[in-house]
Structure formats: C-alpha cells, structure tokens
Chain A
Amino acid sequence: MTDAWIVVLAVGSATVAIKSLGPVLLGGRPLPSAVTRVVELLAPALLAALVVTQALASGQSISPDARLVGMAAAGIALWRKAPILVVIVVAASATALTRSFV
C-alpha cells in the first residue's frame, strides 16, 4: 500500500472516530449540568478562535493581508444588519478587489 493510501485510511478512521465519540456515547440525553455550563461557552470561544486565525494567520505566522479589508467590509455589513449571505459575498468581493489592486 502506498503512503498516500495509508494516510487516507489512518486520517479517515481517526476523524470518523473523533466525530462519532460524543454523539454515539452520549447522544440523545441531556448532559450533566456542569458539562452543559462548559459546552454552552464552546461556540463563542471556538468561533472567536476561528475568526482570528482564519482572518489573520497564514500557516504558523500572523500575516495580515487583503482578508482584513474583507473582514472590515463584513463588519460594516453586519453593523448595517445585512443577512449572512450578503456578509459573506461582501467579504469575498472586498478581499478579491483588494488583491486585484495590491
């Protein structure tokens, strides 16, 4: 078996296992209240981490680029109460425009 297939099978089975763990073992039942208090803060913590890393990082380095213009445009769209679809299109267009000029 080639290296590529070993990676595909190993990463695939590990990911399927990681994703299934919670839903298969704990599914359909309320979590203990201490766990609930923790997981209800998972969304804000993780989303903030995804925003800053995907807007600012390139690999291991923090390197602001045209994405910041897109994020600023998205911020304005959000402030103007635009629907999410518009926010996404505005962010991508502003980023693409900036890249075409810089």
Chain B
Amino acid sequence: MEGSSAHRYRDGARAVAPLAVAVLGFGISFGLLARSAGMGWLAPIVMSATTFAGSAQFAAVSILGAGGTVAAAVAAAVLLNLRYGPIGVSVAPWLDGPAWWRFLRAQLVVDESWALAAEGEGRFDPRILVGAGLLLYVSWVAGTAIGTLGGQALGDPKTLGLDAAFPALFLALLLLQLRNRRTIVAAILGGATALALTPVAPAGVPIIAASAACLIGLARK
C-alpha cells in the first residue's frame, strides 16, 4: 500500500472529495450567516482562511449575530477548538522536518483530515492528512467567499442532507479503528460521555470530555 509520496497526497484528496462538496455547501451557508450577522464580506473570508474550523466559526458568528459579546463569541469558539490540542499531539510524531513546515501542516488538521489519516494504533499518514486537509481548506474558503459575496443559489445544505455526510464519514472511520477490546471500550466511553454532557455543558466541552476516555490507555494491558 506504500505508493509514492505524490500518490499518497492524491489519495488523501481523493478520499475526502465527496466530503469537500458538503464542506463547500457549509462554507456557503457560513458566508451567508456571517454576512447577515453584519460581519461584512472580508472578515468571514479571513476567518475561514485563518481559523479553518467550521463548528467554532458557526458558534462565534451565531453569538455575534444574536447580539452576544465579543468575549462570549471568542470563548465559545476557543472551547470548540481545544480538541485540536490533543489531536495535534497525536499527529506530532508523524510530522517531521523544520518547525515552519510542521507549523504549516498543523493548520491543515481538521477532524476529517485527521480521521482519514489515522491508520490505527496511533499511526498517521501525514501525506493523507495534507492532501485531504488542502482540498477541504480550499472548499471551505471558496464556499465562504461564495456565501459572503451573495451566493444564495444553493439554499440550505440541510435540504440536500449534507449534514448527515459528516457523521456518516466519522462512523465509517470509527469502524476501521475498532481493532481490539481497548479501542471498543474507548469508543463506547467517548460516545456515552459526549451524549450525556451535550444537554448540560457548553458546546465544545462534551467533545473535550469524551477525548479524556483515551486515558484508559494508561491502564496496564
């Protein structure tokens, strides 16, 4: 399976291609939402290009649009993105080269590119990560630009069922991860924690708490 380097980048882009359509759709709806929240056209595009994390951006812009404070908007977005701390540690051994090159590739880490690059047992393919991440990045920023510059054509991406594309991808990738009893226990604990905390904790906290389920790895085998 170890194709040439260029092939693995392309494999990453190809694997994420169907999702890129959904990301483009949500990028457009993010652009529309941000525009209607009074952010103008440039700020949403800059946000997508620098933050590149959908759920956090939707949260921050919704809070601003509803008349919330700057502090509340920033806090919600940062909380939602805290999961990228442990996610970054998990891919760190596989990102080599100079610091600036590791820094740049780290920006392409989003849930989808990270999950596609996961090969199980803590191994990651950095080329899949970069190939998938780049295509998603372009889709997200382009979608945002179309949305803020007035693209109403697509309508609500939910009408096309695009919101179901993400959990379906994550389910497919989760099944590949379930190799032994420990991974199954971690998945059940993580899923149950997120479900239990969603109604009571601020957005972002259930996912962070769920990722703590991996601490069972400290127990002796």
Could you tell me which A residues sit within 8 Å of B by CB distance? 2-8, 10-16, 18-31, 34-57, 59-62, 66-67, 70-71, 74-75, 78, 84-85, 87-100
Contact = CB atoms under 8 A, between A and B. Distances in A.
A41 B82 CA distance: 18
Given A15-B52, A22-B88, A57-B198, A71 B168 contact: yes
Size class of B's contact patch? 35 or more
B53 interface: yes
B210 A12 contact: no
Interface string B164-192: 11111111111101100011101111110
B111 interface: yes
B93 to A, nearest CB: 5
B92 A31 contact: yes
B102 interface: yes
A72 B160 CA distance: 17
Given A48-B210, A92-B161, A99-B159, A30 B172 contact: no
A30 B111 CA distance: 22
Nearest to A96: B161
B54 to A, nearest CB: 11
Given A44-B183, A97-B161, 4 more contacts: A19-B81, A22-B90, A48-B210, A49-B193
Interface of B: 15, 17-19, 22, 37-40, 43-44, 46-47, 50-53, 56-57, 60, 64, 70, 73-74, 77-78, 81-93, 95-97, 99, 102-103, 105-107, 109, 111, 115, 118, 120-122, 158-175, 177-178, 182-184, 186-191, 193-195, 198-199, 203, 206-207, 210-218
Main secondary structure of the interface of A (DSSP, over half): helix
Given A45-B210, A87-B168, A95 B191 contact: no
B88 A19 contact: yes
A48 B187 contact: yes
B88 A20 contact: yes
Nearest to B216: A41
A22 B210 contact: no
A50 B160 contact: no
B106 A23 contact: yes
A42 B211 contact: yes
B107 A91 contact: no
Given A22-B90, A38-B214, A27 B96 contact: yes
B217 A7 contact: no
